[in-house]
Structure 1
Amino acid sequence: MSTHANHLAVLATLTEHLITFDLPCPIASTAVHHELTGQSVTIQLSCRALPGLATALLEWADTLTNVAAEAWRTPSGDSVHLTVAGHLANGTPVQVYGGLSHKVQVFGPYLEPGEHHSIPLGLLRQWADLDSFRESA
């Protein structure tokens, strides 16, 4: 199968995934990458608030297999990307992420510029619940 046909097959799988699952937060961009080992998909979400992004990432995580989460502080230090990575139904690797401003009170001082840290999905759940915490306070 040609690279073009592979890209189309991956996009068809992604389209089917998006139709099957009612996922929140609009997609800002999608990229299909060709690697020596196959295809992968990167999806950037347009969520701008931590609770909304965390909720969206958790909902994506529920639709993927072999899920892991990570926080990455950009080299400039002013923002943090939160990512869930896993696989679509056909085994295609996918990364879903969104970026937020770095706030020490949220992300702590331990995440140095340029560093990547694995994070538990439970931490995303805590961040997703921040809105309900504020409403009950």
Structure 2
Amino acid sequence: MVSTEGFTHSATPDTTVSGLLVALARHLDTHRELPELTSATVVRYATPSRVQAQLDSDTRLPKVAAGLLSWAGTLAEAAAFAWRTDYSTHLEVTGRLPEGAEVLVYTGVDTGVLPDLAVGARVPLPWATLHAWAALPASSRGGAA
């Protein structure tokens, strides 16, 4: 379980491109233990606008799960999901930064993870599953889960 105790956020976050990027930069500066990002994108067409951040491209399941759990521990209203495209499976954590801005942190994993997940599907991912994956041997790329 991820605690949201102690989190406060503004009722009206700055959803401009610069406001969202500044909120992300402040969050990264405050939480230097978070795993490195490959990219950050402001998504203005989403309602509400949000920041999407992609974790480092290492797809080893324990590292991905641990990284997403690290992020979840710093977000209010955190939730985890898995989704599938034609060629890949992605894991994500969503939540709010302290300023109230919405954030989605994601990365791809081996397609053997959640092999029964249908293309186009997006499903909630239990925290217990992420914790179990984070505890796997460091070299594991996953497989049927």
Same fold (TM over 0.5): yes
Q: 2:21 aligned to 1, 8, 11, which one?
A: 11
1:50 aligns with 2:61: yes
Over the aligned positions, Cα root-mean-square deviation in angstroms equals: 2.0
Structure 1 segment 1-137 matched on structure 2, within 5 A: 6-35=16-45, 37-46=47-56, 47-74=58-85, 76=86, 78-103=87-112, 106-107=113-114, 109-131=115-137
Gaps of 5+ in 1: none
Question: Percent same amino acid among aligned pairs?
Answer: 37
Gaps of 5+ in 2: 1-14, 141-145
Higher relative CO (Cα under 8 Å, sequence separation at least 6) belongs to 2
Deviations 1:84-124 (A, max 9, x none): 00000011110000001211xx42x4312221111111110
TM-score by length of 1: 0.81
Q: Structure 1 or 2: larger helix share? A: 1
Q: Structure 1 or 2: larger strand share? A: 1
TM-score by length of 2: 0.77
| Residue correspondences, number | 124
Runs of 4+ in 1 over 3 A off after TM superposition: 35-38
